[in-house]
Amino acid sequence: MVVLGFDGPRLPASVGALLDQGLAGVALFRRNLIDPDQVRRLCGEIRTAAGALRPIIAVDQEGGRVQRLRGLVPEVPPMADVGAAGPDAAREWGRRIGTELAGLGFNLDFAPVLDVHTNPDNPIIGDRAFSTDPEHVAVCAVAFLRGLESTGVLGCGKHFPGHGDASVDSHLDLPVLDLAPEQLASRELVPFAAAVRAGLGMVMTAHCLVPAIDPDRVATLSPTLLHDWLRGHLGFSGCIVTDDLGMAGVARGNAPDRIALLGLQAGIDLFLHCGANREGEALVGHLADRIEASDACRQVALRALGRNRALRARLV
């Protein structure tokens, strides 16, 4: 139920041991990447450590400001530029990105961005979004997803329930979205609904608070948003993955063991911790403790395991 980040260009022995025990996978960042040959070797090390299981080997390769492989593969424009060119361009860029990722050994891209760029002062989304129009975001994102997955690389739609109206960066603080339920449904959720209908297998949560829906819990830890809205209202049956749990938007005010408990209660399938210094490895222990101590948490984990196995069966 955990995807980890780590330091350096080689797979740490501790993460390799966890992969051997069933760790869901890893997320690689620029700090892990030197050149194409090294990336291929590293991805091979990860697969070897996982043995017969298929590990998730993920990366954020959106384009524009967020492309971890900058300098290793051809440059990708911001998705706002791609969206302006239309869905055919989005499909082609998805295919190009997927081809590059597959050639290096990745099997999952944390893309496409399904956020609608509604707040011009948003410091974290901006030109990462395809458009300011939810319908156009939906069309372009689905096209991108189909292009990406035609190469064998799976996509992940983010950041549910929509990060486009935020006014602060969730890496640094907790954004509060003052959106009525009707506004959320008619704007932010439109691209997510379209991607779910198109067969999206993974959705990443947003570290945002939506008081009109759940005044107490950030979206990542909210049963109301994840169970009632994402699974119930949108009919999503795939994997729900957190955004990085080291970000201040969720970590501030929530100790790691509390994040483990609330995440299980909310229905998280995959806990993503990208931080260094083995912080994510500690999360594995917190989850194990919660699952062993509670039958309810164990049942939630077993359901998550079924969804995770189904996703990993699709991995190349």
Which residue in 169, 171, 228, 233 is the catalytic one? 171
The residues near 306 (Cβ < 8 Å, ≥ 6 apart) are: none
- Contact indicator for 26, 3 with CB cutoff of 8 Å: yes
Checking DSSP bridges between strand 108-109 and strand 154-155, what pairing results, if any?
parallel
- Does the annotation mark 233 as catalytic? no
Query: How many residues can be counted in the chain?
Result: 316
- Does the annotation mark 243 as catalytic? yes
In degrees and rounded to multiples of 5, residue 304 shows phi and psi of -60, -40
* Residue among 39, 307, 311, 302 nearest 149 (CA): 311
- Cα 148 versus chain centre, distance: 15
- Contact indicator for 111, 61 with CB cutoff of 8 Å: yes
Q: SS3 letters for 91-116? A: HHHHHHHHHHHHHHCCCEECCCECCC
Which residue in 60, 243, 244, 269 is the catalytic one? 243
- Contact indicator for 9, 279 with CB cutoff of 8 Å: no
CA 175 to CA 136: how far, in whole Å? 25
Specify the residue for token string 């229905």. 267
In degrees and rounded to multiples of 5, residue 295 shows phi and psi of -65, -35
The residues near 52 (Cβ < 8 Å, ≥ 6 apart) are: none
Catalytic residues: 171, 243
